[in-house]
Amino acid sequence: MKNLVKIIFLLSLVASCKKMPITPIENFTLGGGVLIINEGNFRGGNGSLSFYSYDSSKIYNDIFYSTNGRPLGDVPNSIIVKEDNAYIVVNNSGKIEVIDPSTFESKATITGLISPRNIGIINNNKAYVSSLYSDSVTIIDLSNNSISGYINMRRTSEAIIVAGNKAFISNWAGGKEIMVISTFNDRVVDSIEVGIEPESMVLDKSGMLWVLCNGGWKRDNFAELISINISTDRVSKKYVFPNKQASPSCLKIDALGQTLYYLENGVRAMEVNALKLPPTSLIYEPGTYYNKIGINPGNGDILITDAVDFMQQGYLLIYKNDGTFISKHKAGIIPGSMSFKLRLNSSTN
């Protein structure tokens, strides 16, 4: 009888513990921080969302699940925080989760997408979504979070940069073009030939578009970093990596628009007016698998996601912009892309 009472007590204790929130939302989300998507294992459906708070210097994991009571999905690929909304593109689930970036509560789920990769916000009412397998870019009506149309690119798409009345969209897998879309009529108006497999892009302080081309997964071509004049849609500069084994990725830029960062044997930094590619890494730690980087627009910190062995939980690494190590925090499985929330209702990716 005593044993039965103990069992009942323990079961009630476990049940009551499950009902308790891990951390009160108001304790860590109202200030500045960064949202991190954890890709999870392919077809494992264990993608998740983490938040690192600059106020508490702590990371909070599985916040989408703990808030909404359901998994985020299979392989979240990218995230953008835009004012009162965060858009999480979940690649293998074919959807976009729209959440409140402060409470993490679900606002909408946009479904029916074919292998979505990245989202580019055109204005308050419209966005474009790229695709790994479809030859069209999907148009999203942000006023009701639904698909409103398609732009036939006749090729797959990856990175999206919006500048003025143009959207520049890279043809990544096996491609070598940047497609130029008129955001007025949602039509292709030009194309720009670049290096093999342009995978990431940024805009600098002068309005120049920088494109990082990784040369292809077979390493048959040299990787290239290319600058494009968006007024003329023509290549302005070209930097060729010194050997075919180079596999640069994840091009980013600081808030001033003058220092480029990318992954290649660690993190490399380069001024936009540099005459050549940086010969050494700003940050490199043996044994670290550098997956993605993000540059905090508020203080210039360099944030890196370490995927470890792609099976166990990875890490968020934080450095000063001079490469000085600050801290390390355990995230979810295969931590990836990030988007920054500087303070309540102020954000950038």
- Written in H, E and C, the secondary structure of 20-71 is CCCCCHHHCCCCCEEEEEECCCCCCCCEEEEEEECCCCEEECCHHHHHHCCC
Nearest partner of 82 among 96, 94, 98, judged by Cα: 98
State what percent of residues in the chain have pLDDT above 90. 85
The whole-number pLDDT of residue 345 equals 47
The whole-number pLDDT of residue 103 equals 92
Q: How far apart are CA 158 and CA 179, in angstroms?
A: 11
* Each residue's pLDDT tens digit, 242-267: 999 999 999 999 999 999 999 999 99
The whole-number pLDDT of residue 4 equals 35
pLDDT by position in tens, the chain (length 349): 333 333 333 333 333 333 334 444 455 566 789 999 999 998 888 999 999 999 999 999 999 999 999 999 999 999 999 989 999 999 999 999 999 999 999 999 999 999 999 999 999 999 999 999 999 999 999 999 999 999 999 999 999 999 999 999 999 988 999 999 999 999 999 999 999 999 999 999 999 999 999 999 888 899 999 999 999 999 999 999 999 999 999 999 999 999 999 999 999 999 999 999 999 999 999 999 999 999 999 999 999 999 999 999 999 999 999 999 999 999 999 999 999 987 644 556 6
The whole-number pLDDT of residue 27 equals 55
The whole-number pLDDT of residue 7 equals 35
The whole-number pLDDT of residue 17 equals 36
Q: How many Cα atoms within 13 Å fall on the side-chain side of residue 235?
A: 16
Contacts of 19 by beta carbon, 8 Å cutoff, 6+ apart: none
Buried b / exposed e along 7-38 (16+ C-beta atoms within 10 A): eeeeeeeeeeeeeeeeeebeebbbebbbbbbb
The whole-number pLDDT of residue 18 equals 37
208-213 β-sheet, strand order: 198-203, 208-213, 224-229, 234-240
The whole-number pLDDT of residue 29 equals 62
The whole-number pLDDT of residue 263 equals 98
β-strands 136-141, 126-131: how paired? antiparallel
- Structural domains in the chain plus CATH codes: 2-348 (2.130.10.10)
β-strands 267-271, 259-263: how paired? antiparallel
The whole-number pLDDT of residue 257 equals 97
Nearest partner of 195 among 177, 179, 210, judged by Cα: 177
